[in-house]
A = this chain, B = another copy of it.
Amino acid sequence: MGLDPFFWFMDLAGVFVFGISGAIAAERKAMDVYGSFTLAIVTALGGGMIRDVLLGRTPAAAFGDPLYLGIASLGGLSALVFSGQLSRLHFSLRYMDALGLGIFTVLGTTISLDQGISLPGAILLGILSGTGGGMLRDVLSQEVPLVLQKEIYAVAALVGAGLNGGLLALGVSVNVSAGVGAGVIFLLRILSLRFDWHLPRAGK
């Protein structure tokens, strides 16, 4: 893959925050320490595995480099150690999820474009890899997936992925367009939570 270390760093950052979000979700369900690590790892590595499998980049990156597993575990561990502080942050799970969503969406889009996928396909794959880890987390812990709840979620991923792709097409550097895309996704999610932005319901 022709992408530079910035993306490898972003991938690990996404793994870390999704790892935290998985462990927080486990704690809310009163799971044991190992259930927390399991959910942390599945959440952290799930989106990237979905991305790599759908693109045919196998074996998936998470198996090639032990750092992925280490960082996912570190995320889970951090959530356990700082669980008191995190629970005072009321929206902690959703903040971490918003960060991970931004990072993995942009990463999935950029890697797909790098592999010659068309822009709409790359945006779709970005959204799937951004939302995939969180969906696995929510399904395994028997919650309605965040992606299907009322505040804007996939639409944030769509806007960020489109922005990322559009800036690239305009000649903006790949690091800047990725950073802008991920930042916009994070902001849209946070704002939608704070101001209760949501789209109209179907059938109304």
Residues on A lying within 8 angstroms of B by beta carbon are 23, 26-27, 29-39, 41, 45, 49, 53-56, 58-60, 62-66, 69-70, 79-80, 83-84, 87, 112, 115, 117-122, 124-125, 131, 135, 139-142, 144-145, 147-150, 152-155, 198-203
Contacts and interface: CB of A to CB of B under 8 A. Distances in A.
Contacts of A27: 201-203
Given A53-B53, A117-B63, A145-B140, A124 B199 contact: no
Nearest to A142: B144
Per assembly, the copies of the chain total 3
B32 A201 contact: yes
A45 B150 CA distance: 22
Contacts of A60: 54
Contact of A202 (B33, B149, B198, B200): B33
B202 A31 contact: yes
B200 A33 contact: yes
A127 to B, nearest CB: 8
Contact of A83 (B63, B66, B202): B202
Contacts of A70: 120
Q: Which 5 A-B pairs have the closest CB atoms?
A: A56-B58, A63-B121, A66-B120, A32-B199, A27-B202
22 contacts: A23-B202, A34-B152, A34-B153, A34-B199, A35-B147, A37-B154, A38-B147, A41-B124, A53-B54, A54-B58, A54-B59, A54-B63, A55-B63, A59-B112, A62-B121, A62-B124, A63-B121, A64-B117, A69-B120, A87-B203, A140-B148, A142-B144
A153 B125 CA distance: 30
Nearest to A147: B38
B41 A49 contact: no
B202 A80 contact: yes
Contacts of A58: 53-56
Most chain B CB within 10 A, of A23, A64, A142, is at A142
